[in-house]
Chains A and B, each alone.
Chain A
Amino acid sequence: MQESDKRPVFEEHEDELLVKQVLRGESGSFDILVRRYQSVVYATAYRFVKSREDALDVAQDAFIKAFRSLYTWQPTAPFRAWLLRIAVNMSIDYLRRRKRTPQAVDPEELMVLEYGGAERHSHVEEPSDRASDSELGTLIRAAADTLPERQKMVFILRHYQGLPLKEIAEIMNCTEGTVKTHLFRAVGKLRDELRGVRRDFMRG
């Protein structure tokens, strides 16, 4: 899914104005920034942590952190990219922490994992289709989890979130060339990981 499809185009200077207002003490302006970017921040976090509950916590923490370090933002970089960098970093931190402390499975999350693949198709499917989609989804996620951190970040931001390469470079604080290299490698590694799976699913 391309999250960026939904993204409205906002003038950068409007963000700058709002940030200045918050720094002047007009904290209500931060509400506007939250409303403007809450969906993309939450969706990004969700792509990393893959659970509603966790994504909510990460998104909330990301906004609190952004609020706290608002004075460090330089208007030369787009506010959205700066905010997403915080969200991505917090997601990665969250995943690291989660790796160290195993979590109980949330039944709601399980539902999403089980049927998430089927929900995105508009046509009505047979239960068998859903089961196979769910299996495929699990395999893909498992393969994506084997990617090195930066490749995974680039892949999620580009493929799932649909962010332009330029913005990903800004988020990751690197060049567009580096983003392309990470992306190329990520897709190659995924392809290798999923080679057998691909054949099975392609055969149907």
Chain B
Amino acid sequence: MLFRCYRMRKRIASYLWGELDESDRVRLHGHLERCSRCARELESRQELLRLVDSATPEVAYPERFEELFPTMVRRGIEVSGAKPTGTSTVWAPIGLRQAAYVACALVLGILIGASTAMYGGLRSSHYKRLAQAAAQLETMRKAIETERVLDKLGGLKVELAAEGNSNLFAKISAFENVLVGLMPLDDEQRQAWLLARNADTEVAAGNFADATSTYNALLDRYPDSVIAPRARQMVAFIAKEKLGDYPQAIRQYEAELASSELKETTERTLFDLAGACFEAGEYENAAAAYASLVERFPDGPHIVEAMLKLSDIYFAKLGDFNAARNVYYQLASNYADAVNKVGAQSLVQTQLAMLDDSARYGFKPISLFLEARAKDRGEAFASCERLIHMYPRTIVAKLALDEMAVTEWYGPEAAETASIASLSDEQRVEALRKVIARCRRNEVAAFAHMAIGDIFRDQLKNVKQARREYQTVLDSYPDSMRTFEAQSRINRLVLASATGEESRS
């Protein structure tokens, strides 16, 4: 081989892969025209490379390589304990931003615990499992629908705002922002989101009017955005709790209920709507909303509260005693534990007993009692007297007597909000004596003496005085329906005292 040819062959190597500069290429071409051996050499090499090229497979990347490989490396480094010499820790402490992501990861981690555990795999032999786990993770991530997450957080924020917990409200907002950052929102949704965030800031700062106008702007511009339901909830909440604008609150809650299918927040919306209707004096609508909640969300978080309110509306506002009785029955039989928890057990039992008792007279005693309570002092006293006279053996008669005692003790104004339970035993005796002094019907006076006797016997443990009261009924009101009862109690007291003396001797 000529020396010239030897030098040209180095150029051929560069030429084959297009790395020859212009002047060398001219020289090579000149040489190839004159040297057929080098020309054949180049041609055969080009032919070979074409052949090799035609049979070169693509690099086969594993599934989800781009996404999973960094995790694999990171875990490999962690497990091997490798350090980039010169530093003391492999992984530095995370910053605030990362901390937020870690927090999110933890939340998601609850859902994806099982698949995350599979990330322990480090080598390629575990890669398939890693890819499977990642696929599961992806499916789960998709399953956590944006709307549901926002709904949930939205509901939480409304509750925090209701509690006036602006600190936690702000924290939840920050957390929500991080989550939204991770969610596939389009531009419109993001714009809506930004408006909501501004409005939230106003809420946290207590600027409710500004917050309302920002939420309303959001609802005008993006009525179908995922954040719109919460904006409606917030407008309604502010109207109801902060501005006392119940009609506005009702409009928003109704719009929210009409705008969407069944959601997790629907229960809360129904509850709030019912509350707003009640405040606005729309008792039938309030009852309808509570009834709808009870029917659709029997396991919802507000079920007991809603049922208590519903029964109270039926009882006290609509006079539908049968319906009230049904709701109390449901509470007593299906939600006994929950009722206990909120301390409403005795209320439910008393109401039920009274309604059952009153049902025997077509609920007349209760009607009369409620009518009496609605009247002013003089008339109320007379109505209660009449009630006791007409239905002396009902539970309502006892309530009417208590009502009279309370009214006598506190006076008509304060009695509006007071109850018999607020009086001590001595005060009750005193109040009942006032009732006796004032009432015009013997039946009521006899009933009051019986009640005083019971207090002495059961609470004050003064058997002598109790016996005296019962004896008064026999002596002063011989025509009363209480005489039989009075005699029976005296007999029992005598018997008890004789048994006690016997056992002492």
Contact = CB atoms under 8 A, between A and B. Distances in A.
B45 A187 contact: yes
A169 to B, nearest CB: 12
Nearest to A57: B124
Nearest to A38: B69
A54 B80 CA distance: 19
Contacts of A184: 9-10, 12-13
Interface string B66-81: 1001101110110010
B13 A183 contact: yes
Q: Which of A69, A113, A119, A188 has the most CB of B within 10 A?
A: A188
Secondary structure of the A contact surface, majority rule: helix
Contacts of B54: 117, 133, 136
Contacts of B52: 140, 159, 190
Interface string A12-32: 000000000011111110110
A56 B57 contact: no
B124 A54 contact: yes
Contacts of B419: none
Q: Interface range on chain A: under 10, 10 to 19, 20 to 34, or 35 or more?
A: 35 or more
B124 A191 contact: no
Nearest to B17: A158
B62 interface: yes
Interface string A181-196: 1011001101100100
Contacts, number: 166
Given A165-B14, A187-B16, A3 B59 contact: yes
A1 to B, nearest CB: 6
Contacts of B49: 159, 187
Contacts of A69: 85
B66 A133 contact: no
Given A38-B70, A64-B73, A198 B92 contact: no
A201 B51 contact: yes
Q: Which of B14, B55, B122 has the most CB of A within 10 A?
A: B55
Given A184-B13, A191-B44, A47 B59 contact: yes
B133 to A, nearest CB: 16
B125 interface: yes
Given A63-B73, A64-B77, A187-B48, A181 B88 contact: no
B14 A180 contact: yes
B48 A71 contact: no
A54 to B, nearest CB: 7
B84 A42 contact: no
B51 A198 contact: yes
A64 B69 CA distance: 12
5 contacts: A57-B124, A68-B82, A184-B13, A187-B16, A191-B45
